[in-house]
Structure 1
Amino acid sequence: MSKKIDLLIHQCKKGNKKAQLHLYDTYSQAMFSVACRYLNNDDAIEAMHEGFLKAFLNINTYTKTYSFGAWLKRIVINQCIDELKRKRLETISIENNSLEIVDEDDWKFDEQISKEEILKTIEKLPIKYQLVVKLYLIEGYDHAEISEILSIEVKTSRTQLRRGKLQLRELLKAYLNEARY
């Protein structure tokens, strides 16, 4: 498949519209799923389309440093975040606040809670925590990448992750307590 994708990318760089359509067909479902993690369906479709448009307009900048899917995913995520910012999302810098060390690898939750319930609960977090938790936990970005994507300080990313994780744990505890009664 990699050689096929490489050929399609080469053809896209020459302006081949059929190759663009083939890449779109290959990656659209995955990119829509990524966009839905950040936006509602209508906005996710729009962000995904804008992401593809940006990718095709900038295809000459693509290098094999990353897989094409990873490169495209980054564009789509950035497009989603731009859309959220257009909707007046404000991430507040907390440079003056004291910071606590967070164990970023400790994401263990009660085994009674399903993955789907955890993902639904993440949606209940304040948007600034939700974005950092999604970028870190689901997308696998590190704090330097998150700070670049969201235009925040690395220490702000770390703190928002810690606070998001703490709120997520509390929301999940409340969910378990409700489920028992």
Structure 2
Amino acid sequence: MEAFFVSTLAVTVGEIGDKTQLLALLLAARFKRPVPIIAGILVATVLNHALAGMLGEWIRSMLDPAALRWILGISFLLIAGWTLIPDKMEEDEKVRGRYGVFLITCVAFFIAEMGDKTQLATVALAAKFPDLLQVVMGSTIGMMIANVPAVILGKVASPNFPFKLVRYISAAIFALLGVAALLTMG
């Protein structure tokens, strides 16, 4: 269960203020249809994080424990630093099109999550923990915990949310994961 809880916590906190959370706000403000948006986020996240988890599992199988320890430790520390940088929605990522809200959300979230810090964290967590299902379930639940309120509340609550504080807390969690990986693995 450790893999599940660590993955859930790391991705939940890491997602606050992330570009995909901003995308959730944008979709909610534009389409005002929370159910297909939430369903689209879920499907895109399961697919994206399952692929990320399989990559992490493959990395774990290919590296000796000492190398894995260093790579994971440094990766988590880099993600901690990256977390301190606020995400902004880029103009070309704004959602356009004539497709259904569910499909637009699936595609937009899947693409936006590619190479994102929470996807890379999922790769690292799957490399650290041997239970792929728990990592993917935890990271998916973490994405949903962070994004469902953004969809439901839309832009109403976002100006008052302490994104900066949450970024610092998230960076601290990733830094602790990095230090723990360096000190305990292998």
* TM-score for both structures, normalised by structure 1: 0.28
Higher relative contact order (CA 8 A, sep 6+): 2
Structure showing the higher helix proportion among its residues: 2
Structure with the greater alpha carbon radius of gyration? 1
